[in-house]
Amino acid sequence: MSRRLEGKIALVTGASSGIGRATALAFAREGAAVVVAARRQSETQETARQITGAGGRSLAVATDVSSEPQVRALVEAALRTYGRLDIAFNNAGIFGAEGPMHAVTTEYWDSIMATNLKGTWLCMKHEIPPMLEQGGGSIVNMSSTAGLTGWSAAALYSASKFGVVGLTKSAALQYAPAGVRINAVCPAFTRIESMDSMLATAPAAGEQMAASIPLGRIGTMEEVAEAVLWLSSDAASFCVGHALALDGGQTLGLW
C-alpha cells in the first residue's frame, strides 16, 4: 500500500512535543521528509531522532516563530537540504493563565500575539513563495475551538486564535488559484504532555474538560495529527480555507 506523503517535504513548527511531534511522526510514517522546528532545541532534536530512528528523514532547526530572521532561516534550511517545500504545519503556539481581561498585562498580549498570530503569518510569508515557484503546496495552521467561539477564561488567547482563522481564510482566497491550499485545525482540549502534568495534580480539571465535550472525553494528539495529515495530503485536494473543528461536538451549541 502506498504511503500518503511519499516523496513530499514537510515542515512542522512547535515540533518539540505534543501535537507538533505527533504530527511530525505521522508525516514521516507516511513517507515525508520532515523539517522539525521549535524553540526548545534538545526536544526538537529528539523528535528528529525518533523519525530517523524509524528509518525516515528529518532535519531539526531551533526556531522562534515570532522572529522573522529565524523563520526565514528555517525555510531556507528546508530548501537547502531538500530542494522544495510541499507541506507546512504551522503549529507553534503558547497559552497562559489569563483571568479577567482588564487585569492582563500588555506584555502578555504582545507575547501571545507575537507567537500565535504573528508567528503564523511569518511562517506563511516565507513558506508560500517556494510553493508558488513549484506550482502548489499545502499549509495547515493551528487554531483552536477558542478561535471559533469565545472563551471567558482566556480572552486574549481566543483573540489570537480567531486571528489565525481569519488569516487562514483570507490567505486561502489569495493563493488557491496558484495551487496552494491553506486550511486550519481547531482542536478542543487535547491530551498533551503539559496537560498530563496538570491533571496529575488536579484530576477534577480533566473531568470538567471532558464534561464540556458531548463525546465525554478529551481528544488525543494522534487524532489531531491524523486530521492534519489528511488536510495536507492529496486526499483533501478540494479542501480550501476550512477551519476544521476537532472537538467531539463542543462547538455545536449549548451543552
Query: What single DSSP character describes residue 115?
Result: I
Distance of CA 66 to the CA centre of its chain: 14
Determine the distance from the C-alpha atom of residue 193 to the mean position of all C-alpha atoms in its chain, rounded to a whole number: 16
Check if the beta carbon of residue 128 is closer than 8 Å to that of residue 107. Answer: no
Rounded Cα distance between 243 and 143, Å, is 8
CA 185, 199, 107, 42 torsion-angle sign = negative
Sign of the Cα pseudo-torsion (218, 221, 223, 224, in order): positive
Catalytic pick from 82, 108, 157, 175?
157
Neighbours of 10 (CB within 10 A): 30
Dihedral angle sign, alpha carbons of residues 182, 21, 50, 60: positive
* Active-site residue flag, 82: no
Cell of 198: 496538570
Backbone CA torsion sign across 219, 148, 225, 198: negative
> Residue written as cell 480533566?
206
- Which are the catalytic amino acids? 157
